[in-house]
Amino acid sequence: MLRSLFVLLSLGLFSASPVFAEKTLSGKPYTKSTDLDAINIDTRLPDALHSDLPELGDYSQTILSAQDEQRIAAQILREVAVSDEVLQDVEIADYLQILGNRLAAASDDKQQSFNFFVVKDPTINAFAMPGGVIGVHTGLFLASHSESELASVLGHEIGHVTQHHLARILAKQKTDTFKNIAGIALALLVARTNPELASGALSASSAAEIQRQLGYTREHEREADRVGLNVLKNAGFDPRGMTAFFITLQRGSRFVDSSSPSFLRTHPLTSERISDVENRVVNMPYKQVGSSLGYYFVRAKLRANQGLAQVAIDQFQRNIKEGRYANEIAEHYGLAIAMLRQSDVAGASAQVQWLDAHAVQSAFVENVKARIAVVEDNPKKAGKQYNAALKRYPEDRALIYGYAEHFLAIKQTKKMITLVKEKQKLYIADPYFYTLLSKAYLLEHKDLLRFQAQGEAYYRQYNVDKAAEQMDFATKAKDGSFYEKSIVEARLKELRRLQEISKPTS
């Protein structure tokens, strides 16, 4: 999985500047909106937590320092931003990030920031990497039966990060194997995303040796479970979601080893581990927690977009007819998405009408309505729908993206630029806002502003070299005011400084 990422990381992990990484990884990424109508997630911070977990001490940082972890995270996120194997769906990405932020806020480590992303892979897996980068396979969403189950896996991965398990593993090694941090990152990614690719992706013997030594121990798993349970409880989820997910994993492990869930091969599940969690859960007060509508919408959208559209349509229709669903609203929503894949405007509209008749209020549904107008090639209707939807959900990124793209399609660049600049303050780390601006300035034949915006987009994709290249183009553009030229020249100087800092030392 993420094969191109493996190669790039192995060739030069530290191309990202530590200063750059420090700036871009400080604080929460991208999402400011909590859009409770759309996702129904309570993001209030829980009370101060306590834990019976041991103090780690400084030894865990002897191999991977905090700066090393930031550098690794920046390089990973750089490739995640452009990887074809990462799901680039803003609604699903925002749901996961908001859910992850809610859980992270319930952990003991309030300083650690987290970046979550979705991998297009049907296997049941999730993995944590240095710097708080956590990947979740689409298969995990679909295998979960409740939001608490999904949250339990994220809480477990958060536990691996906050307890610095990877650093602790490396600190215990007695050889020089781990002097090559790039090899560490390569092995981490291979081992966490798809262990079956390890032998093929790790051509160097040292990297292969790393891969063999990076497995979590039983104690690490128990510790991550304990952290995860505390996180789950304090974030307002049902801790029994963890034991329920164990049952899901056990069902999968009944098959031959090569077909068992990938999560089991990187997170060994033992009877002692299951008993430990069950004993802890028994002592926790019972609290019935329902799954949010956003959780069901995300799962329905994933199902609607996988495989052949007609197969998905048939499945949704059968489920609705036979009453086989966990949430009827999400089933109609998913059917509308699947129908849009076949440009069946009438069918999708009928599903939206059903949702309206049942008073469903969600940004997910408003997005479908706008997309129907776009597929109909009805710009006036689309513009009216986006405008009305954003008044109800002013911070929803999918709606913002859609409205901006609508303005771009009908060449109303000034309106698009106004919209993007107004909303940009909500998501200062989002590169796509700058990409949109660059496209608008291209249509307006404003070269300096076009290159400047594209440079800022690359910067937010953790690519300082390309950012500097675009900013250099901006300084050489024939247009632009004295003030604009001064800004891009100063910015280029800063980017050049970051390039110098990031050069590997011999």
What value does the mean pLDDT take over residues 278-289?
85
Query: Is the pLDDT confidence value at 279 over 50?
Result: yes
Number of domains in the chain: 3
Give the C-alpha distances (Å, rounded to integers) separating 271 from 16, 125, 275: 42, 20, 6
Decide if 322 is inside a domain: yes
Contact call for residues 349 and 370 (beta carbons, < 8 A): no
Length of the chain: 506
Give the C-alpha distances (Å, rounded to integers) separating 149 from 121, 285, 320, 437: 18, 17, 24, 40
319 and 201 both lie in a single domain: no
The pairing of strands 126-129 and 133-137 is antiparallel
**91: which residues sit within 8 A by CB, 6+ positions away?**
297, 298, 301, 363, 364, 367, 397, 398
80 and 213 both lie in a single domain: yes
pLDDT at residue 74, as a whole number: 80
Decide if 391 is inside a domain: no
Q: Which two tokens stand for residue 348?
A: 């999708």
Q: State the Cα–Cα distance between residues 158 and 107, nearest whole angstrom.
A: 8
Contact call for residues 466 and 73 (beta carbons, < 8 A): no
Q: Which two tokens stand for residue 55?
A: 């103090």
Q: Which two tokens stand for residue 195?
A: 């262990």
Query: Is the pLDDT confidence value at 280 over 80?
Result: yes
What value does the mean pLDDT take over residues 446-457?
98
pLDDT in tens, 189-212: 555 455 554 444 444 444 445 545
pLDDT at residue 42, as a whole number: 35
| Nearest C-alpha neighbor of 208 from the set 216, 217, 218, 197 | 197
231 and 307 both lie in a single domain: no
First and final C-alpha spacing in the chain: 31
Q: State the Cα–Cα distance between residues 267 and 262, nearest whole angstrom.
A: 8
Q: State the Cα–Cα distance between residues 212 and 176, nearest whole angstrom.
A: 15
428 and 502 both lie in a single domain: yes
458 and 339 both lie in a single domain: no
pLDDT at residue 105, as a whole number: 95
Structural domain boundaries enclosing 484 = 422-506
62 and 181 both lie in a single domain: yes
Q: Which of 119-133, 223-237, 261-275, 477-491 has the highest mean pLDDT?
A: 477-491
